[in-house]
Structure 1
């Protein structure tokens, strides 16, 4: 398997060096470029074609949020994880709205980083219960309109499991199907709903009233 190609975007050199050292500990990842602002991150994405971008939020000239929006519009298949010292839930929601796949705090241990980034890279990053609670509070103010879903009963069942924060492996055990079958179902679900990640799937499940 080819290593996951990573672009690091952070305006602080020491932060970039720290992230690079964490990733060097795992051959699963390969750092292909480093950017110091959002505009450079956008430019380097087209030049180096990374699989994954670790994006700081607050950078000069162009913020991480704006860079994420531009990159996802141009290269929707590139995964983006916001990396920051802020645990403000508003920052997290803004990142998700711009298309980011996840959110990492800089003060977390390297082991947590590696475990989480591996999970995101293979589309198995579970949604934490804490984030799920915040999402329910955020979206409950939007008066969701439940309606007819294009999903089959099996797809709805899998989506409900995703919304509970379960990994593909846990879902396969609960529903007594293979992990590969779970992955295939999720691909079909995201294609039907025009969604890109597990956070967006969870929001859909909340809007449908499938998650309490």
Structure 2
């Protein structure tokens, strides 16, 4: 936390900071020139204030609100329809993971990044299963926060390097258990194109990179990813990677 600037007088939890009007309606498409709307949820007011100060200098990012616990996160997400949430895991009233599940149900388009001090394996895995698009430790530098917001908003998944190794270990364990399983439920049938997209997602490519690789539009890639997640009954690209490992679509050595 010491890497982020913080000053007394932060807004109380839940105080919305709407600096440029009300949120767009749920059905409206975001213009390419619209700023990325970010909601910050953390039970430490100074940390919230520090994040807001960092993001305030970015012309393409707008902090639309702050919350201090999981319940406020869910309520504000429903009201403000953020593009990206930066949220802690360990919070009062409702944990970040529980809030993540509720938010993904209420606002499926919202991308959630867990920004936490917890390096527990279980927190990482539960966050991914809940639909988080990123898991970053608070030790990251201030310069990385705006970059993380842009990357996740653009369809990428982010994990702190120290946590990524734990995730890869878990992937490998999943693959091994899959091999040892005597009976398996037949996997949902994906089209040939969906299989290509899934393999590229598993390699860590974002939507734009996949579009270039397959010579298709970025919107087409988004449609394929959405169809893949629906067919496999998954909630995030990270879960899709786990699936790809388990089904031997991606080899991990």
Q: TM-score scaled to structure 1, two decimals? A: 0.85
1:104: how far off? 1.5
Of 59, 67, 73, the residue aligned with 2:91 is 59
Structure 1 residues 46 and 149: CA distance shift in structure 2, 3 A: closer
Which residue number corresponds to residue 25 of structure 1? 57
Q: Provide the residue aligned with 2:141 in structure 1.
A: 109
**Alpha-carbon distance change, 132 to 84 in structure 1, aligned in 2, over 3 angstroms:** closer
The DSSP-based 3-state class of the residue aligned with 1:21 is: helix
Greater Rg by CA: 2
CA distance in 2, matches of 1:155, 1:87: 33
CA RMSD of aligned residues (A): 2.5
Q: Deviations over 1:115-139 (max 9, x none)?
A: 2221111213367763651341453
Aligned length: 212
- Relative distance call for 1:191 and 1:19 in structure 2 (3 A) is same
Query: 82, 104, 121: which one pairs with 2:153?
Result: 121
Match of 1:95?
A: 127
> What's the counterpart of residue 205 of structure 1?
244
Q: Does 1:151 align with 2:190?
A: yes
Give the superposition deviation at 1:173. 4.5
In the alignment, does 2:112 pair up with 1:73?
no
**Equivalent residue for 1:134?**
169
Partner of 1:167: 206
Contact 2:136 2:158 in 1 (8 A): no
2:229 is aligned with 1:190: yes
Offset from partner CA, 1:27-67 (integer Å, 9 cap, x none): 22211111111112122222222222111111122221222
Name whichever structure is richer in helix by fraction: 1
Question: What are structure 2's unaligned runs of at least 5 residues?
Answer: 1-32
CA distance in 2, matches of 1:12, 1:35: 10
Please state whether the residue corresponding to 1:110 is helix, strand or coil: coil
Cα distance change of structure 1 residues 138 and 65 upon mapping to structure 2, 3 Å threshold? farther
Cα distance in 2 between the residues matched to 1:167 and 1:75: 21
Q: Distance in 2 between matches of 1:132 and 1:173?
A: 27
9-18 or 86-95: which moved more? 86-95
SS of the equivalent of 1:124 reads coil
CA deviation digits over 1:64-107, x for unaligned, max 9?
12222222233333221111012222211111122222112111
Given that 1:126 and 1:162 are in contact with CA atoms closer than 8 Å, whether structure 2 keeps it comes out as: no
* Counterpart Cα distance in 2 of 1:182 and 1:74: 23
